[in-house]
Amino acid sequence: MSVVYLSLGSNLGDRDNFIDCAICEIDKRIGEVTKVSNRYETEPWGFISENKFINVAVEVKTLLPASEVSDIAHKIEEELGRTRGINSTGYEDRVIDIDILMFDDVVSNDNTLTLPHPKMHLREFVLIPLREIAPEIIHPVLGIAIKDIKL
């Protein structure tokens, strides 16, 4: 059984509902959701928008490999109405965003998935919820506990 940490965010429509639906689908299709952080309202990162995000972190116990978790997360996003422009950088308003932050202590960098998430340590909207549910987990590249990562 593997432990995966996910970051969820929404800044369009009924943000709370999109987060709730995503967590429910993750629990059904990826694995048991064992921890959910509080919700944090944050400003957009990487683009300008008047729509604030709601962000959460979740811990999931799964039997699936990381690549399949990623594929299912993208399917959940699409089913909930997420669209991506052809030239999209990913930094845009969205009904739901699901990112894999860490998958056990796996370190990988290929064309489809980079683990741990390469920018998680730079993003307050990721670290604050993650610190709440997994403060002692060691970042597999930085070699320090999540609670000790400084922005």
If one counts the domains in the chain, the total is: 1
Please indicate whether residue 100 or residue 77 has the higher confidence score (pLDDT). 100
CATH classification at residue 11: 3.30.70.560
Is a pLDDT exceeding 60 seen at residue 86?
no
For helices 15-29 and 66-79, give the axis angle rounded to 10 degrees: 140
Quickly tell me which residue has 């116990």 as its tokens: 61
| pLDDT (0 to 100) of residue 90 | 59
Is a pLDDT exceeding 90 seen at residue 4?
yes
Query: Residue 23 phi/psi, 5° resolution?
Result: -60, -40
**Percent of the chain predicted with pLDDT > 90:** 70
Is a pLDDT exceeding 80 seen at residue 19?
yes
**Closest of 10, 26, 6 to residue 18, by C-alpha:** 10
Checking 111-116 for CB contacts under 8 A at 24+ apart, the result is: 112/67, 112/70, 113/66, 113/67, 113/70, 115/66, 115/140, 116/140, 116/141
Domain membership of residue 113 as a residue range? 2-148
Question: 98-148 pLDDT, tens per residue?
Answer: 999 999 999 998 888 999 998 898 889 899 999 999 999 999 999 999 999
- Calculate mean pLDDT across residues 58-63: 98
| pLDDT (0 to 100) of residue 118 | 86
Quickly tell me which residue has 């629990």 as its tokens: 27
pTM of the entire predicted model: 0.92
- Using DSSP's 3-state secondary structure scheme, residue 8 falls into strand
CA angle 140, 36, 50 (to 5 degrees): 95
* Dist CA 80 CA 90 (whole Å): 16
CB distance 147 to 135 below 8 Å:
yes
List the catalytic residues.
82, 94, 97, 99
Which tokens in the block code for residue 19? 């987060």
